Amino acid sequence: MLPSIIAELPQKYCYHGGYSRYCTCEYKDAAGKLRYYQVVFWVFKSAKKLRLHVESAYPLEERPQLKNRKPRPTPINQVWGIDLTGKQDLGKNNLQILAVVDHGSRANLYLQAIPNKTSMTLLRCLLDSIEKYGKPMVIRTDNESIFTSWLFRFGLWFLGIKHQRTDIGCPWMNGRIERFFGTLKQKLNQIDVVNFEHLNLHLKNFRFFYNHIRTHANIEDRTPAEVWTGKGFKRKAKYCSAWGGLLQGYWHPPD
């Protein structure tokens, strides 16, 4: 029974748990009843292919209810997730967007289109964020070449910041920034941008919306700005709208 589960694992596994690298695998027994196994695994690259090694597996009485489980809280300004995404302008130019998200507060600390995709440019942007918000203990990235270059790694070492990289082919390990990009792209894909400067204007509006207006269920329906500052809702509120109504809600300005 177990060998057949392991054989079908690449098609059936569903990841959860961040760096713990385990999953829940389901199958039907001879009677047609769903059964579940908890499988511990790790992913590695060999001969330019991603491979899956199963370390252990054990049966579960029922399917774990993990979909709505809240992630464990993280101290503010301790771990930053950074990554890049892109947006094509009306001239068919692919513009690169850099984002920095604080894991503890979900605050978007940096969101701008950058002129080039180099480690030097990334370090300059990080230094701007550190100067404004302070230095995190850890920066989490994927394994893209700009994050694994000797210059980027040396820069983090020199700053005294631990560089934590996800496993190859495992974007969910940097889930905060991936979730942020999902929210951004859902809105950004509905608008056109003329050029680099026009995109940055839109990103500035989105960053304000994300940090000060949009509430998050995993931080007790507060905004990232409220968690970052440790302040709750105010009595007064101001309605805000941008991007033709795609971004809208009530902003509670500080006293």
Dump pLDDT digits (tens) for 85-129: 999 999 999 999 999 999 989 999 999 999 999 999 999 999 999
**For 210-237, what is the mean pLDDT?**
83
Q: Do 98 and 43 share a structural domain?
A: no
For the chain, how big is the Rg over CA atoms in Å?
A: 21
Q: Which residue has the higher pLDDT, 28 or 238?
A: 238
Task: Judge whether 71 lies within some domain.
Answer: no
**135 to each of 44, 120, 149, how far by Cα in Å?**
31, 18, 21
Task: Label residue 231 by pLDDT band (50, 70, 90).
Answer: confident
Tally of domains within the chain: 2
Q: Do 123 and 19 share a structural domain?
A: no
So what's the pLDDT on residue 122? 95
Place of tokens 């509006």: 205
Q: Do 84 and 55 share a structural domain?
A: no
Q: Do 43 and 165 share a structural domain?
A: no
* φ, ψ at 17 (rounded to 5°): 95, 5
CA atoms within 13 A on the CB side of 57: 21
Reply yes or no on whether the pLDDT at 230 is more than 50: yes
> Which of 110, 76, 80, 70 is closest to 221 using CA atoms?
70
Task: Judge whether 151 lies within some domain.
Answer: yes
What would the two tokens of residue 143 be?
């394994």
Q: Do 113 and 148 share a structural domain?
A: yes
> Which of 69, 100, 103, 55 is closest to 82 using CA atoms?
100
What would the two tokens of residue 82 be?
């950074």
Q: Do 56 and 147 share a structural domain?
A: no
Q: Which residue has the higher pLDDT, 90 or 12?
A: 90
Q: Do 221 and 194 share a structural domain?
A: yes
Class of residue 18 by CB neighbours under 10 A (exposed 0-12, middle 13-18, buried 19+): middle
Task: Judge whether 219 lies within some domain.
Answer: yes
CATH (domain of 222)? 3.30.420.10
Q: Do 100 and 40 share a structural domain?
A: no
Task: Judge whether 14 lies within some domain.
Answer: yes
Lowest mean pLDDT among 148-162, 216-230, 231-245: 231-245
> Which of 55, 66, 19 is closest to 166 using CA atoms?
19
Cα–Cα distance between 18 and 174 in angstroms, integer?
8
Residue ranges making up the domain that contains 17: 2-60
Cα–Cα distance between 164 and 157 in angstroms, integer?
12
What digits encode the pLDDT tens for the residues 202-215? 999 999 999 999 98
So what's the pLDDT on residue 198? 94
Which of helix, strand or coil describes residue 145? Answer: helix
Reply yes or no on whether the pLDDT at 240 is more than 70: yes
The answer to whether the Cα torsion of 177, 180, 186, 192 is positive or negative is: negative
Cα–Cα distance between 162 and 79 in angstroms, integer?
9
pTM of the model as a whole: 0.71
Task: Judge whether 242 lies within some domain.
Answer: no
Q: Do 107 and 18 share a structural domain?
A: no
Mean of all residue pLDDT scores within the chain: 80
Task: Judge whether 132 lies within some domain.
Answer: yes
Task: Judge whether 239 lies within some domain.
Answer: no
